[in-house]
């Protein structure tokens, strides 16, 4: 079992086996952003639980070696965080991310580089926003026969809003690639949210693109919101328990 617990931008607990290599870079006085570098040398599951009460910045770099698979499960319960992920995925390697965020202010970038044939990347996220949340997902298909999938379910409460941007780029001469984007937001308040989708490819004949978005606003009870969020992601036992605990604390104060 591989697990990391992060409070603000500091690793407070970790339990790692030989499937992963972790390097922590505390940054410099000119670029004071802590960086976690993870290399996957053997197929495994990694759980990361983030908690924070002060403004934090973090940069994550995840390298997956050929023929290996990473299942990444994440729980974010944070006041204010800026975080960037870079996934560098080699041939026949896979990354599958399941993530729940329950935050006030968050800016988040997920940038995936599919650098080898048959590389795959998928990210399923359920988000609860109490203030401004900016999410950016960008996938570069740098090799043929690559696949990417992104599914987002967000709920805005209190003063929350979500700005979601999804983009896929298929480099020249890369064939038989598949891109799927699926984003949906429920606004249980009067704040404005937005979803933007885009893809760039010159290989129209062999590249398959599927994109779905929806913005919904109205009165929803807690049980419907709970189902909306839980249908999107499936955690293993420990993270599922944390997820359920956070949903129990969910308050839906909006009234028509």
pLDDT tens, position by position, 169-209: 998 889 999 999 999 999 988 899 999 998 888 777 788 88
Pick from 46-50, 126-130, 224-228: least confident? 224-228
Per-residue pLDDT band for 256 (boundaries 50, 70, 90) equals very low
pLDDT digits (tens, 9 = 90+) for 81-111: 999 999 999 999 999 999 999 989 999 999 9
User: For the CA atoms of 205, 168, 196, 122, what is the dihedral angle to 10 degrees?
Assistant: 110
Strand partners, 61: 37, 86
Per-residue pLDDT band for 139 (boundaries 50, 70, 90) equals very high
* Contact indicator for 66, 40 with CB cutoff of 8 Å: no
Strands (E), the chain: 2-7, 10-15, 20-25, 34-40, 44-52, 56-64, 69-89, 94-114, 120-129, 132-141, 147-156, 161-170, 178-187, 194-200, 208-217
Q: Say how far apart CA 73 and CA 56 lie, in whole Å.
A: 20
Q: Which distant-in-sequence residues (6+ apart) come within 8 Å of 204 by Cβ?
A: none
* Contact indicator for 168, 181 with CB cutoff of 8 Å: yes
Question: Where is pLDDT greater, at 138 or 201?
Answer: 138
User: For the CA atoms of 109, 115, 119, 125, what is the dihedral angle to 10 degrees?
Assistant: 0
**Tokens at residue 211, please?**
């994109």
**What was the pLDDT predicted at 217?**
81
């Amino acid at each position: 079992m591989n697990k990391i617990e992060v409070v603000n931008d500091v690793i407070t607990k970790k339990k790692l086996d030989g499937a992963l290599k972790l390097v922590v870079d505390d940054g410099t006085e000119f670029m004071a952003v802590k960086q976690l570098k993870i290399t996957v040398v053997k197929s495994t599951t990694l759980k990361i639980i983030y908690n924070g009460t002060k403004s934090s910045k973090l940069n994550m770099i995840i390298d997956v070696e050929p023929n290996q698979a990473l299942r990444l499960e994440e729980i974010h319960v944070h006041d204010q965080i800026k975080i960037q992920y870079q996934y560098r995925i080699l041939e026949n390697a896979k990354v599958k991310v399941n993530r729940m965020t329950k935050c006030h202010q968050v800016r988040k970038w997920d940038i995936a580089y599919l650098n080898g044939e048959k590389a795959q990347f998928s990210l399923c996220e359920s988000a609860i926003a109490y203030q401004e949340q900016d999410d950016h997902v960008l996938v570069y298909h740098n090799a043929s026969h690559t696949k990417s999938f992104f599914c987002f379910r967000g709920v805005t409460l209190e003063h929350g809003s979500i700005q979601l941007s999804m983009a896929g780029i298929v480099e020249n001469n890369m064939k038989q690639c598949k891109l799927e984007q699926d984003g949906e937001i429920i606004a249980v308040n009067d704040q404005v949210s937005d979803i933007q989708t885009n893809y760039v490819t010159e290989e129209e004949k062999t590249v398959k693109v599927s994109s779905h978005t929806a913005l919904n606003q109205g009165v929803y009870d807690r049980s419907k919101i709970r189902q909306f969020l839980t249908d999107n992601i499936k955690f293993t036992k420990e993270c599922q328990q944390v997820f359920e605990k956070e949903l129990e604390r969910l308050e839906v104060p909006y009234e028509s």
